[in-house]
Amino acid sequence: MTGRTMMGDGSLAQLVGNSHWLLRIAWAAVFLHMGVSKFLGGGISGFAEMMGLPIAVALLVALGELAAGVLVPAGAWLGNRLGEWVTRLGALAGIPILIGAIVMVHWGQWHFAASESHPMGGMAFQVTLLLLGIYILIRGNDL
């Protein structure tokens, strides 16, 4: 299939150039929300205690989430070769966090709903985000 839409008349073609924002906004919304939320409520120390992490690691996770949420859309605004690497760096910031979340919290249950064995739900959402992050890492600004 070529770059043309399946509509034949190209009526969707004008949307193709901006469709990358759908992936970027989804990625940014999740990571910005999760990063900011770690500074609210119980703060970093509460998150660290809940997860059994040293405070320094919990802080790195929160900052990594904020970086992932900011860098992926920022890479599109920069647009040049630097933007290409900023986008990839944003994806790279999120990938180990997602792997950690899957392994430490969500492994063993696929469905996202909370259960007795998995009070924070299963790994379907995190695996989906992980695959999106890998895609962004590979493609850069060519989404």
pLDDT tens per residue, range 14-43: 788 888 999 999 999 999 999 999 999 889
**Cβ atoms of residues 65 and 35 within 8 Å:** yes
State both tokens at 118: 């998995």
pLDDT tens per residue, range 38-82: 999 889 999 999 999 999 999 999 999 999 999 999 999 997 899
Phi, psi of 120 (to 5 degrees): -105, 10
By three-state DSSP, how is residue 50 classified? helix
pLDDT tens per residue, range 106-116: 777 667 777 77
